[in-house]
Amino acid sequence: MQKAVYTITPDDLALFTDLYELTMLQSYFDAGLTGEAVFSLYLRRLPEKRNYVLACGLSDVLDYLETVRFSDEAIAYIRSLGGFSERFLAWLGQFRFDGDVYAVPEGTPVFADEPILEVVAPIAEAQLVETFVMNQIHVQSMHASKAARVIHAAEGRAIIDFGGRRAHGLDAALKAARAFHIAGVTATSNVLAGYRYGLPVAGTMAHSYVEAFDSEREAFWTFARSHPDTILLVDTYDTLAGIDNVITLAEELGPEFRVRAVRIDSGDLADLAKEARTRLDAAGLGQIGIIGSGGLDEYEIAKLVADEAPFTGFGVGTAMGVSEDAPSLDLVYKLCAYGGVGRVKLSPDKPIYPGRKQVFRHELDGTAKSDVIARLDEELEGRPLLEPVMRHGARFPGVTKELNTIRDYARKEIERLPARLRSLSPANPPYEVEISGELADYTEIVRSRHR
Amino acid sequence: MQKAVYTITPDDLALFTDLYELTMLQSYFDAGLTGEAVFSLYLRRLPEKRNYVLACGLSDVLDYLETVRFSDEAIAYIRSLGGFSERFLAWLGQFRFDGDVYAVPEGTPVFADEPILEVVAPIAEAQLVETFVMNQIHVQSMHASKAARVIHAAEGRAIIDFGGRRAHGLDAALKAARAFHIAGVTATSNVLAGYRYGLPVAGTMAHSYVEAFDSEREAFWTFARSHPDTILLVDTYDTLAGIDNVITLAEELGPEFRVRAVRIDSGDLADLAKEARTRLDAAGLGQIGIIGSGGLDEYEIAKLVADEAPFTGFGVGTAMGVSEDAPSLDLVYKLCAYGGVGRVKLSPDKPIYPGRKQVFRHELDGTAKSDVIARLDEELEGRPLLEPVMRHGARFPGVTKELNTIRDYARKEIERLPARLRSLSPANPPYEVEISGELADYTEIVRSRHR
With bands split at pLDDT 50, 70 and 90, how would you rate the model's confidence at B22? very high
Contact (CB, 8 A) for B299 and B350: no
With bands split at pLDDT 50, 70 and 90, how would you rate the model's confidence at A1? very low
pLDDT beyond 80 at A99: yes
Answer whether A67 touches B (CB < 8 Å).
Answer: yes
Quick count: other Cβ atoms within 10 Å of Cβ A418?
A: 16
Q: Mind listing the pLDDT tens digit for each residue in A381-426? A: 999 999 999 999 999 989 999 999 999 999 999 999 999 999 999 9
pLDDT beyond 60 at B3: no
Q: Which residues of B are less than 8 Å from A167 in CB distance? A: 135, 139, 168
Q: How far apart are alpha carbons B255 and A36 in whole angstroms?
A: 35
With bands split at pLDDT 50, 70 and 90, how would you rate the model's confidence at B2? very low
Higher confidence at residue A306 or residue A450? A306
Q: Mind listing the pLDDT tens digit for each residue in A196-231? A: 999 999 998 999 999 999 999 999 999 999 999 999
For the residues B182-210, what does the mean pLDDT come to? 96
Residue B329: C-alpha distances to residues A144, B21, B110 (Å) = 21, 22, 12
Residue B105 amino acid letter: P
With bands split at pLDDT 50, 70 and 90, how would you rate the model's confidence at B204? confident
**Lowest-confidence pick of A129-133, A345-349, B199-203:** A345-349
pLDDT beyond 80 at B122: yes
Residues in chain A: 451
With bands split at pLDDT 50, 70 and 90, how would you rate the model's confidence at A258? very high
- Find the residue in B nearest to A124 (Cα): B209
Contact (CB, 8 A) for B141 and B48: no
> What is the structure's pLDDT at B4?
60
Quick count: other Cβ atoms within 10 Å of Cβ B315?
A: 24
Q: Which of B40, B139, B171 to mutate to test the interface with A (most CBs of A within 10 A)?
A: B171
**Lowest-confidence pick of A348-362, B163-177, B358-372:** A348-362
Mean pLDDT of chain A: 96
Sheet with A357-364, strands from edge to edge, namely: A383-384, A357-364, A367-375, A432-435
Q: Which residues of A are less than 8 Å from B334 in CB distance? A: 207-208
Identify the CA nearest to B209 among candidates A345, A68, A346, A119. Answer: A345
Answer whether A423 touches B (CB < 8 Å).
Answer: no
Percent of chain A exceeding pLDDT 70 equals 99
pLDDT beyond 80 at B85: yes
**pTM as predicted:** 0.97
Answer whether B74 touches A (CB < 8 Å).
Answer: yes
Bridge partners for A144 per DSSP = none
Contact (CB, 8 A) for A291 and A314: yes
* Interfacial B residues in 239-258 facing A (CB < 8 Å): none
Answer whether B19 touches A (CB < 8 Å).
Answer: yes
With bands split at pLDDT 50, 70 and 90, how would you rate the model's confidence at A18? very high
CA A417 distance to own-chain centroid: 19
C-alpha distance from A362 to closest chain B C-alpha (Å): 31
Residue A183: C-alpha distances to residues A403, A409, A412, A420, B299 (Å) = 10, 10, 11, 18, 35
Domains of chain B: 10-143+332-448 (3.20.140.10), 154-321 (3.20.20.70)
Is B236's CB within 8 Å of A172's CB? no
Residues in chain B: 451
Q: How far apart are alpha carbons A146 and A129 in whole angstroms?
A: 26
Residue B272: C-alpha distances to residues A90, A141, B228, B269, B314 (Å) = 40, 35, 24, 5, 14
> What is the structure's pLDDT at B367?
97
With bands split at pLDDT 50, 70 and 90, how would you rate the model's confidence at B1? very low
Contact (CB, 8 A) for A55 and A134: no
> What is the structure's pLDDT at A349?
72
Mean pLDDT of chain B: 96
Answer whether B206 touches A (CB < 8 Å).
Answer: yes
Q: Is the peptide bond before B429 cis (omega within 30 degrees of 0)?
A: yes
Identify the CA nearest to B131 among candidates A147, A180, A177. Answer: A177
Helix, strand or coil, per DSSP, at residue A176: helix
C-alpha distance from A369 to closest chain B C-alpha (Å): 31
> What is the structure's pLDDT at A189?
98
Residue A162 amino acid letter: F
pLDDT beyond 60 at B98: yes
Say which DSSP state B187 is in: E
Q: How far apart are alpha carbons A168 and B328 in whole angstroms?
A: 8
C-alpha distance from B364 to closest chain A C-alpha (Å): 36
Quick count: other Cβ atoms within 10 Å of Cβ B380?
A: 16
Residue B355: C-alpha distances to residues B210, B338, B374, B384 (Å) = 61, 9, 10, 17
Beta strands in B247-310 (DSSP E): 261-264, 289-292
pLDDT beyond 50 at A8: yes
ipTM value > 0.85: yes
pLDDT beyond 70 at B100: yes
Identify the CA nearest to A328 among candidates B299, B145, B163, B47. Answer: B163
Q: How far apart are alpha carbons A49 and A86 in whole angstroms?
A: 49
